[in-house]
Amino acid sequence: MTQPAALTIDQTDSALVFAFSGHLDAGGIAGVWETACRRIKKTEGPALAIDLSGITYFDTAGAAFIAHLDRMAQGRNWEKTDITGLDPDSFSLLERIREKHSEPVQDTAPSGGALRTFVENKGRFLDDFLYDARTFIAFLGEIFWAFVSSLLHPGRIRWGETLRVAERAGANALPIVALISFIVGLVMAFQSAIPMKMFGAEIYVANLIGLAMVRELGPLMTAIVLAGRSASAFAAEIGTMKINEEIDALTVMGLEPVRFLILPRVIASTLMTPLLTIFAILVGILGGAVVVLSLGHPFVAYYNQVVGFVSWEDFVGGIIKCFVFGILIAATGCIRGYQTSQGPSAVGDAATRAVVSSIILIAVFDGIFSILYYALGV
Amino acid sequence: MEDLSFDIRKGEIFVILGGSGCGKSTVLKHMIGLLPPISGRVLINEQDMVTATGKSRIRLLRQIGVAFQNSALFGSMTVLENITLPLKEYTLLPEDAVNTIARAKLGLVDLAGKGHLIPGELSGGMKKRAAIARAIALDPAIVFLDEPSAGLDPLTSAEIDLLIMDLARTLGITFVIVTHELESIFTIADTVIMLEKDTKGIIARGNPKDLKADPANAYAYQFFNRKPKRDKKP
């Protein structure tokens, strides 16, 4: 059982004298560490004397403590510390600790002023952001190049893998896309019907739902669902492969990881996103129809309003966005997986980053498309 | 394993060896309390690890340190944090004291100044050293090492051997090591016990150099002299 160490302090003209007794181990020194350190900080010197004749146990923790006190004293330019009362074995342990011990060096982050830390953090963030953007663009370029070269040699595309990914990322996502779209259509119709009814214009809910689902909400909601579902899955898959050195294995076998792993995912995602979006649009419009029917309007009136108001340009404009969203989702998922580092949380981090980055990129590109369509008069 | 009984003297480097699948790691798991044996006792300083529960088990566990085969460092923490973890959990030391002691341990395993790295940034040999530093964080009486040289190049493996001998001499720690690296065994072991799958127990015990020179125990002789069974000559 650990016996707490006891400390007696005496200040003479020639030295600050610490006399320890009891166990000088990790358990024993807890009660005397701060007292001893504080006293050295408050004392002007000129030397430290440590009497260890009263101790009954001494291990590396005790040796680290004594070495620490000695370094504190030396750091204040005191005279050489006089350490007495140690048996030869314990003294050689102390010497060993002193000899091998290094001061913090880089064990802890360098401390600086708050302003400096703030500037450093912002600078690091900007540097990381620029590096990330450069890497992403370079990666997109690689994918594009792999895609073009695969178009010239379609047999090199792993169609089996592409279909498998398409099934998982596309077909298997139908229920969640249907649920989200139906609820969005229903809620939007319900919320807009209340004020429109005040003006006797509730049939125009059909116009609102049709246009919103086709141009914006269908593509956007589908893309966000896929970002949460597929981008994270791609990042986790590729991240795990990277940690298991499977990507290195592919590379040393002469198989390009971009063509072998990433291209099937990008092709599948690019083709599945528009298909899922068309499905989402139809289900969303159906959700709106439920509300309009409940207000007493026939389905044919709702149908005619939607078809008469939504143009082919709106539809094509919405679908073009989906192709871009599909590429962004797959590329972001894959690149985040590719960037997976080491450690137990690495794959989880990669998946999280994939989802966050995908959603940010989807939002940014949706904004760009809105401006572009406005400028083009679509 | 059946009918397994052995004593380990304080301060010795004790090696458990045997062929693949003979149960070395299982015996180690029994000794460190990870796997209770079907019957029997594991006494550490006269206290039974198998039946110990609650605080008495914690007291026993504080007397031992373990470095696993794959180092088992916590990947989300820095090396320094890996070593400070047991100190923070088991002592009331202030933060700077914990860090100072942990750095002293890093110095002892020649990893001074590497505390800020995460385990993923360390080489295989450095990971082994860091795992040993964590194992000795609380100055245990006994340190168990599972395959400390596995996957290391001969030079790094020899450095780990030197480190073990150095720590045993300097700190008076008893080392219990599971390995089948013959070079290491001849260098560091005071005593070995050799386990064998067929006999389900100890087939030889003693000093490795003596066992190597003694043809009376055929299996141990073949093992230490790297002579496969098809070699008829003793």
- Is the bond preceding residue B86 a cis peptide, omega within 30 degrees? no
**Shortest CB distance from B120 goes to which of A97, A106, A342?**
A342
Residue B116: the pLDDT is 92
Q: Does residue A255 carry a pLDDT above 80?
A: no
- Using one digit for the tens of pLDDT, what is the confidence trace for A268-322? 999 999 999 999 999 999 999 999 999 888 999 999 999 999 999 999 999 999 9
Q: Residue A98: what pLDDT?
A: 82
Per-residue confidence (pLDDT) for residue A277, from 0 to 100: 96
Q: For residue B232, what pLDDT is reported?
A: 45
Least confident of A41-45, A263-267, A275-279: A41-45
CB of A343 within 8 Å of a chain B CB? The answer is yes
Higher pLDDT, A243 or A167: A167
Listed by start position, the domains of chain A span: 6-100, 156-376
Whole-angstrom Cα distance, residue A315 to residue A308?
13
Closest residue in A to B141 (Cα–Cα):
A59
**Rounded distance, CA A105 to CA B116, Å?**
9
Which range in A53-62, A222-231, B171-180 is most confidently predicted, on average pLDDT? A222-231
Nearest to B118 by CA among A179, A343, A70: A343
Report the distance separating Cα A49 and Cα A71, nearest Å.
13
pLDDT average, residue stretch A333-348: 86
Q: Is the distance from CB of A320 to CB of A313 less than 8 angstroms?
A: no
Cβ-Cβ contacts under 8 Å for B10 (sequence gap 6 or more): B141, B172, B174
- Checking if the pLDDT of A57 tops 50, the result is yes
What CATH number is given for A6-100 in this structure?
A: 3.30.750.24
Tell me, what's the pLDDT at B234?
Answer: 44
Q: Which of A179-183, A223-227, A352-356, B32-36 has the lowest mean pLDDT?
A: B32-36
ipTM: 0.75
Q: Do A133 and A125 meet the contact criterion of CB atoms below 8 Å apart?
A: no
Closest chain B C-alpha to A13 CA, distance in angstroms:
29
The end-to-end CA distance of chain A, in Å, is 82
Model confidence at A200: pLDDT above 90: no
Interatomic CA distance for residues A256 and A235, integer angstroms: 18
Q: What is the pLDDT of residue B229?
A: 63
Question: In Å, how far is A320's CA from the nearest CA of chain B?
Answer: 42
- For residue A101, give the nearest of B92, B94, B103 by CB distance: B103
Q: What is the pLDDT of residues B153-209, one digit of tens each?
A: 888 889 999 999 999 988 889 999 998 888 889 999 999 999 887 777 888 888 888
Q: What is the mean pLDDT of residues A221-235?
A: 95
> In the predicted model, is pLDDT for residue A243 greater than 90?
no
CB–CB contact B171 A59 (8 Å): yes
pLDDT at residue B230 in the model: 55
- CB half-sphere exposure, A217, CA atoms < 13 A: 26
Instruction: Give the pair of three-digit tokens for residue B21.
Output: 């699948």
Q: Provide the shortest C-alpha distance from residue A344 to chain B (in Å).
A: 6
Task: Read off the pLDDT band of A213 (50, 70, 90).
Answer: very high
CA–CA gap between residue B132 and residue B126 (Å, rounded): 10
How would you label A319-357 residue by residue, b for 16+ Cβ within 10 Å and e otherwise?
Answer: bbbbbbbbbbbbbbbbbbbbbbbebeebbebbbebbbeb
Inter-chain Cβ pairs, chain A and chain B, closer than 8 A: 107
Q: Which domains does chain B have, with CATH numbers?
A: 1-63+141-234 (3.40.50.300), 75-139 (no CATH)
Note down pLDDT in tens along chain B; length 234 residues.
778 899 999 999 999 998 778 888 889 989 988 888 889 999 998 889 888 888 888 888 888 998 988 788 887 789 999 899 888 888 889 999 999 999 999 999 989 889 999 888 898 899 999 999 999 999 999 999 998 888 888 888 899 999 999 999 888 899 999 988 888 899 999 999 998 877 778 888 888 888 888 888 888 888 888 777 654 444
Q: Residue A104: pLDDT above 60?
A: no
Across the interface, of A33, A107, A346, the residue whose CB is closest to B103 is: A107
Q: What is the 3-state secondary structure (H, E, C) of chain A?
A: CCCCCEEEEEECCCCEEEEEEEEECCCCHHHCHHHHHHHHHHCCCCCEEEEEEEEEEECHHHHHHHHHHHHHHHHCCCCCCEEECCCHHHHHHHHHHHHHCCCCCCCCCCCCCHHHHHHHHHHHHHHHHHHHHHHHHHHHHHHHHHHHHHHHCHHHCCHHHHHHHHHHHCHHHHHHHHHHHHHHHHHHHHHHHHHHHHCCCHHHHHHHHHHHHHHHHHHHHHHHHHHHHHHHHHHHHHHHHHHCCHHHHHHHCCCCHHHHHHHHHHHHHHHHHHHHHHHHHHHHHHHHHHHHHHCCCCHHHHHHHHHHHCCHHHHHHHHHHHHHHHHHHHHHHHHHHHCCCCCCCHHHHHHHHHHHHHHHHHHHHHHHHHHHHHHHCC
Tell me the pLDDT band of A112, cut-offs 50, 70 and 90.
low
The residue among A7, A41, A101 with the most chain B CBs within 10 A of its CB, best to mutate, is A101
Helix, coil or strand: residue B110:
coil
pLDDT, chain A, mean: 88
A345 contact residues in B (CB cutoff 8 A): 75-76
Average pLDDT over residues A107-117: 64
Q: What is the pLDDT of residue B8?
A: 93
Residue corresponding to tokens 């077909």: A171
pLDDT of residue A14: 85
Interchain contact, B116 vs A107, CB within 8 Å: yes
pLDDT value for A150: 83
Q: Residue A213 is encoded by which pair of tokens? A: 């689902």
- Sign of CA pseudo-dihedral B148, B152, B153, B155: negative
Phi, psi of A56 (to 5 degrees): -110, -10
